Amino acid sequence: MSVLRVVVTRSGGFAGLTATTEVDDPDEAERITEAVHRAAGSPAGNRRDDFVYEFTIVTTTETEHVELTGAQVPAEVRARLR
């Protein structure tokens, strides 16, 4: 199983706007997937007006959904949606 692509959607924040980006370079998608899985175990925080990040991770065998808060999301992912 290897990661083919990752779709990242950011919603919420004070402005409540939604932004999406797609990572389809397999190496980068793999790296982001690992960072997202690591971040999922970190504290979600209890912020109000935080961003919400949804990841759709498409591999050769399955499609996985992961949700992270702005407090959890890795900096390299945040930078892609700036």
Partner 1 sequence: MHCTLVPPYILQALARHQDPVVRDAAIATLGYDKTFAVSRLIGDRDIRAAVVTGRAPRLHRLIHDAQHEEDLPGALVRSEGEAPSTDVAVNEAYDGLGDTWKLYEDVFQRNSIDDAGMDLSGTVHFSQQYDNAYWDGQQMVFGDGDGVLFNRFTISVDVIGHELTHGVTGATADLAYKNQSGALNESISDVFGSLVKQYALGQSAEEADWLIGAGLLAEDVHGVALRSMKAPGTAYDDDRLGGKDPQPAHIRDYLRTTSDNGGVHTNSGIPNHAFYLAAVGLGGNAWEQAGHVWYDALTGGELQPTATFPQFAQLTVATADRLYGAAAKKAVAEAWTGVGIVTS
Q: Which residues, including other chains, have CB under 8 Å from residue 12's CB and lie 6 or more apart? A: 49, 50, 51, 52
Query: What separation in angstroms does the CA of 2 have from each of 20, 26, 30?
Result: 22, 8, 7
From 4, 5, 7, 9, residue interacting with partner 1 (rule: CB under 8 A): 9
Does residue 19 bind partner 1 (CB under 8 A)?
yes
From 4, 40, 44, 52, residue interacting with partner 1 (rule: CB under 8 A): 52
Does residue 2 bind partner 1 (CB under 8 A)?
no
From 45, 49, 63, 76, residue interacting with Zn ion (rule: CB under 5 A): 49
From 1, 15, 43, 60, residue interacting with partner 1 (rule: CB under 8 A): 15
Q: Give the residue among 65, 10, 9, 61 at the shortest CA–CA distance from 33.
A: 65
Strand partners, 53: 10, 68
In this complex, which beta carbon is closest to Zn ion, that of residue 22 or of residue 49?
49
Distance, CA of 12 to CA of 48 (rounded, Å): 10
In the list partner 1, Zn ion, none, the entry touching 11 (Cβ below 5 to 8 angstroms by class) is: partner 1
